[in-house]
Amino acid sequence: MPLKIYTLPRKQVKIMKKITKKITKKIQQLFFNNLPLPIKSNFIRTSINLPQSLANNMSFKIADTSKELEEAYSVLHDAYVEQTFITPQENGMRIVSQYVLPTTTTIVGKIDDQVVGTLSIIKAGELGLPMEKVFDISKFKNGSNTYAEISALAIKKGFRREFGGSIFFPLLKYMHNYCLDFFNVEYILITIHPKDKDFYKELLFFEDIPNTGTIDYMGTPAIALALNLKTVGAKFKEHFENKPAMKNMYTFFIEKTFPQFTYPKREYSITNDSIINEELFKEFFVAKGNIFKNISLSEFMQLKDFFSNTSIASVFTEYLDRQRLIRLHHRYSVKMIGTIKNTEHEFVIADVSKKGLKIKSFTPFKADLIYNLEISINNSNTVDLQVYLTRKSNNTYAFQILNENPKWINFIKDLENLHFNQRAN
């Protein structure tokens, strides 16, 4: 009898290849992590290939149009969803409150007219830095140096393998030059996964920020690092001066120029390049970006105060007039049980309102995520709510409700009748 050759179905083969690739990657990472630091350092510094020229159809600049901002924040959104940092947003963009301030600059790398890479430089300002919600950066807050957080670094899927280094390194170079020559920033701060620390420390000379450690940030372990831009040039020279051009961080970052880089042209000696005006704020950040729906009330009021003497102030007034009954709402004290849908994560609701609720939970909720909750409003009725975490204190979490649920609205109306009828009696 001839031997029968058994072959796996194509789908199973694909799954097996994927699993094998993940296992191999983990083994390689484990092996690399256990190498002595000098060997790791040498490997990192010799494995890079710095671009010596850029294609004519590539460009790097400050995002200064609604189209460029939308594409940049969409690239970021897709990368964050892919890494499970956030759940998919309805508008397909990742926008935080700091992006609208004049102390934030978003940089884009483009091929032809398409944004394929981006990062944002958030200088310390009115709303602080996103990272300081979880990391102690008092060393910089109490010092005299100017500093900024480098955030939202992302490269569009499909361009990472072929163009990765030709986008990643020029983005970093543009950021480096812009911070020093235009933005008046001396220190840049970043949050990264611990597995990437050797790359940033041995190649780019970032250093640990004291009293930070490893923290759960956006659902993944993270550490905080800082880089002194004033002194890094000397370090690049010391370690790379005699290296070949493709491995030479000194010539790439300090000496090389690219005609594809467009820097701001300024009439006066200012240090910010704000692109925000009333039209862009209203049509892009509010209408398209839904920024007012995705930030806390305290951030809303801080932004309102910041723009109070500008034409943008009218946008806040209009929004408040439309939303007054939603945002200025009464809160009712309750004790109800809820769960995150399709999980065993149970919690207690301490108070509720038309557009928010406060939860007490010993199992932590993660920042900057949208949750789908199932709330028991009585013995026979449950309500599904989509909520966004706005702030936390110890085991107490405040959420903004994102969806309109008739059951919830009727429940709040019943509470209102009970509350005020009892007070009237």
pLDDT band at 30 (very low <50, low <70, confident <90, very high): low
Q: Identify whether 22 is part of a domain.
A: no
* Residue ranges making up the domain that contains 316: 290-324
pLDDT band at 306 (very low <50, low <70, confident <90, very high): very high
Q: Identify whether 12 is part of a domain.
A: no
Query: In this model, does residue 423 exceed pLDDT 70?
Result: no
pLDDT tens-digit map of 281-297: 999 999 999 998 888 77
Q: Please answer whether residues 86 and 370 qualify as being in contact, where contact means their C-beta atoms are separated by less than 8 angstroms.
A: yes
pLDDT tens-digit map of 48-93: 999 999 999 999 999 999 999 999 999 999 999 998 888 899 899 9
Sign of the torsion formed by the C-alpha atoms of 82, 88, 93 and 95: negative
For 44, 45, 75, 176, 312, the CA distances from 161, given in Å and listed in that order, are 18, 19, 16, 23, 42
**Does 404 lie in the same domain as 273?**
no
**Does 338 lie in the same domain as 414?**
yes
Q: Identify whether 147 is part of a domain.
A: yes
Q: Identify whether 283 is part of a domain.
A: no
**Does 369 lie in the same domain as 295?**
no
- pLDDT exceeding 90 applies to what percent of the chain? 60
Q: Identify whether 310 is part of a domain.
A: yes
Please state, in angstroms and rounded to a whole number, the distance separating the CA atoms of residues 185 and 183.
Answer: 6
CATH of the domain at 341: 2.40.10.220
**Does 205 lie in the same domain as 114?**
yes
Query: In this model, does residue 25 exceed pLDDT 60?
Result: no
What pLDDT is recorded for position 380?
A: 84
Query: In this model, does residue 330 exceed pLDDT 90?
Result: no
pLDDT (mean) for 376-390: 89
Q: Identify whether 19 is part of a domain.
A: no
What pLDDT is recorded for position 424?
A: 41
| 345: nearest Cα among 328, 364, 327 | 364
**Does 198 lie in the same domain as 61?**
yes
Q: Identify whether 2 is part of a domain.
A: no
Out of 278, 305, 340, a domain closes at 278
**Does 198 lie in the same domain as 79?**
yes
Please state, in angstroms and rounded to a whole number, the distance separating the CA atoms of residues 81 and 321.
Answer: 34
pLDDT tens-digit map of 241-256: 999 999 999 999 999 9
**Does 127 lie in the same domain as 72?**
yes
Query: In this model, does residue 388 exceed pLDDT 80?
Result: yes
The average confidence (pLDDT) of the chain is: 87
CATH of the domain at 186: 3.40.630.30
Q: For residues 146, 302, 103 and 366, what is the CA-based torsion angle, rounded to 10 degrees?
A: 80
Query: In this model, does residue 326 exceed pLDDT 50?
Result: no
**Does 196 lie in the same domain as 180?**
yes
Query: In this model, does residue 395 exceed pLDDT 60?
Result: yes
Residue tagged 């890079």 (tokens): 48
pLDDT (mean) for 5-17: 58
**Does 196 lie in the same domain as 112?**
yes
pLDDT (mean) for 19-48: 71
**Does 48 lie in the same domain as 139?**
yes
Q: Where are the beta strands (DSSP E) in 67-204?
A: 104-111, 114-123, 147-155, 187-192
pLDDT (mean) for 17-28: 56
**Does 336 lie in the same domain as 306?**
no
Query: In this model, does residue 300 exceed pLDDT 90?
Result: no
What is the count of structural domains for the chain?
3
Q: Identify whether 8 is part of a domain.
A: no
Residue tagged 């936390």 (tokens): 392
**Does 300 lie in the same domain as 178?**
no
